Amino acid sequence: MQVNGKSAIGSDFRRSVLWQKAQELATNLATTIRDLPRDRAADVIGNQLLRSGTSIAANIAEGYGRYSQAAYRNHLSIARGSAFETESWLGLLIRTGYVSSEAGEKLIGLCTEAQKLITARMKSLDGGKTYAVREDAVDYETQ
């Protein structure tokens, strides 16, 4: 069925490279988590990773469905935060040895790609203004 020349099933957000890349990341995360060992630490990390990783595409879609550009940008900001949270959980999986460095770095690469696409989309909405707070590099291990 078509409405105004567009499919009534599905939405334009599904055609977005941004959403597709976030879905690709979520799919890869689900596969990785399924293969984790069954112990308490892996379960906790896997649960958090799945929550943050799957919320990226979900927030992109939800924001797309909002009626205002400000709401869309806000959901993109939430998706971006989730992408950075996902990267942090992936780093923990690597450090704890639950995934190999090679497999983890591949997932981090997908995560970084999503972060960059979200950031570019956000900048295109507001003329490049950013309100991010930058922290100076600190070696936390020596503190």
Residue position matching structure tokens 């020596």: 142
How far is the C-alpha of 65 from the C-alpha of 43, rounded, in Å? 33
Domains in the chain, CATH or no CATH each: 11-130 (1.20.1440.60)
pLDDT tens track for 38-92: 999 999 999 999 999 999 999 999 999 998 999 999 999 999 999 999 999 999 9
- Hey, which residues does 7 pair with through a beta bridge? 2
Cα(116)–Cα(137) distance, integer angstroms: 20
Question: For 78-127, how does the pLDDT look when each residue is reduced to its tens digit (9 = 90+)?
Answer: 999 999 999 999 999 999 999 999 999 999 999 999 999 999 999 998 76
pTM of the model: 0.81
